[in-house]
Amino acid sequence: MRAFVNRNYPSVTLAASLLIFFFGMGGMFLLVVALKPMAADFGWPREVPSLAFSLQFVGSGVGGIIMGYWMDRRGVLEPVMLGAVMIGSGAILSSWVTSEWQLYMIYGVMLGLFGQSTMYTPLMTNAMLWFRHNRGMAIGVVASGQSLAGVIWPPVFRYFNDTVGWRDTFFWYGVLALVTMLPLTALLRRRPNLDEEAGPATKPAAPGKLKGIGAPFPIPALGGMSSRTLQIALGAAIVGCCVAMSLPLGHVVAHTNDVGHSMARGAEMLSIVLAGSFISRVFGGYLVVDRLGGLVSLLVFSGLQALGMLFYAFVDGLPALYLTSLLFGLGYGGINMCYPVIIRQFMPVKEVGRRTGMVTLFGALGMALGAWVGGAAFDAYGGYMYAFLFGFAFNVANLGIVTVLYLTYRGGSHGIEARPAGA
């Protein structure tokens, strides 16, 4: 068994990361499914659990920088082990909350700052560093764990919410997270050899020798743009797509129920969103990201998400909601793969963890804003139409920024789009 693991360690890393992502992301979907019954039990406006959902993203964004630095220095094992403990114990403590501040502290600190922060940046970045080629595929496999979580967990949580109540559902999920995630972290103990990679992604390459994502020396970043400037631009871009992204993720279950369908249909709607993202990540990493490059892929996936946001604002029939959720999921699932690939392509390899963490912080702030706006808009207007239009506007802003980056990149590389080595 040990010989098999050693011989196939990159694949073992992908499988372990996928499963950890799958179990760890359940903590986020717990609150999505329990939003209405929790608010009803305490007599809270929906803004209260929505704010807790937002604080999770704020915490995970700040924590992502910490975990990125930690991973760059020590490897992925220690951050992910901490995350497993925090997610499991945080869910257990959530089953005993009696006041708003307790829910905010658990979701902001335990499940956010020290929990979900260990999922996206460390797991996806570590997986990408094990592969010189097909990095989009590697990220897609790991990220599909989140998608599987969204397909499987919401109906499961909805069933147990209806049968044993949301408190027991939180408790037993926490126990399950601890007993599954902690053993899996042992498979992440080895670190990739970064000395085999090139240093900063600034060494010039002749146009005829561009290899893009899989090359030791990628092309100069966007026509001479510095890593800092590119990082700021990516931070602004990710805010736009994440504001839009978090609105359906946090409120599609409640929205589906509000427009006349059952909570079971609402849970199914969230599952369809994540099923679409699963399809996008499993097939899009290799078929889209590795072939078109990170910037073009981001334009494609963000455009699909924007269309989904616009449709959510106006459709209420069940078939239309199913199709809208699938469209939104296809776009949303692909977006998360693109940013780490862009960072790896144009920034120093030994700074990938911290750079990804910094960009992810802005994404988390966007997710937090979108989740809070959904609850606040419902309380103000009695529905989610204006919230979805707000998200659509931010998504359009994302498309504008990424278009400028791509045009700058294309001009700097004489119109040659970077492709993976061997493509």
Given this model, what pLDDT does residue 328 score? 96
pLDDT tens figures, 108-144: 999 999 999 898 778 888 887 887 777 778 888 888 8
Q: Which residue has the tokens 């999770």?
A: 56
- CB contact at 8 A, 25 and 146: yes
Q: How many CA atoms lie within 13 A of 176 on its CB side?
A: 16
pLDDT-based confidence at residue 251 (cuts at 50, 70, 90): confident
Can you point out the beta strands (E) in 264-410? none
Distance of CA 399 to the CA centre of its chain: 18
Global pTM reads 0.71
Residue 402 to residue 310: CA distance in whole angstroms: 19
Given this model, what pLDDT does residue 222 score? 61
Q: Tell me the C-alpha to C-alpha distance, in Å, between residue 121 and each of 116, 273, 312, 322, 422.
A: 9, 22, 29, 30, 27
Residue 136 to residue 404: CA distance in whole angstroms: 22
Mean pLDDT across the chain, nearest whole number?
83
Residue 138 to residue 130: CA distance in whole angstroms: 9
Mean pLDDT computed over 141-162: 85
Closest by CA to 358, choosing from 54, 82, 67, 55, is 67
Residue 401 to residue 361: CA distance in whole angstroms: 18
Given this model, what pLDDT does residue 2 score? 56
pLDDT tens figures, 33-67: 888 889 889 998 878 888 898 888 888 888 888 88
233 pLDDT higher than 70: yes
Q: Tell me the C-alpha to C-alpha distance, in Å, between residue 366 and each of 112, 313, 360.
A: 14, 19, 10
Mean pLDDT computed over 340-350: 82
Higher pLDDT, residue 360 or 8: 360
The radius of gyration computed from the CA coordinates of the chain, to the nearest angstrom, equals: 20
φ, ψ for residue 45, nearest 5 deg: -70, 160
Q: Which residue has the tokens 């392509």?
A: 345
Given this model, what pLDDT does residue 412 score? 60
What percentage of residues in the chain have a pLDDT greater than 90? 35
In CATH, the architecture of 7-190+201-412 is Up-down Bundle (1.20)
pLDDT tens figures, 60-87: 888 888 888 888 888 899 999 999 999 9
260 pLDDT higher than 90: no
- CB contact at 8 A, 255 and 419: no
Given this model, what pLDDT does residue 193 score? 67
107 pLDDT higher than 50: yes
- CB contact at 8 A, 293 and 409: no
Q: Tell me the C-alpha to C-alpha distance, in Å, between residue 276 and each of 88, 263, 272.
A: 27, 20, 6
Query: Where along the chain do its domains lie?
Result: 7-190+201-412
Mean pLDDT computed over 298-322: 94
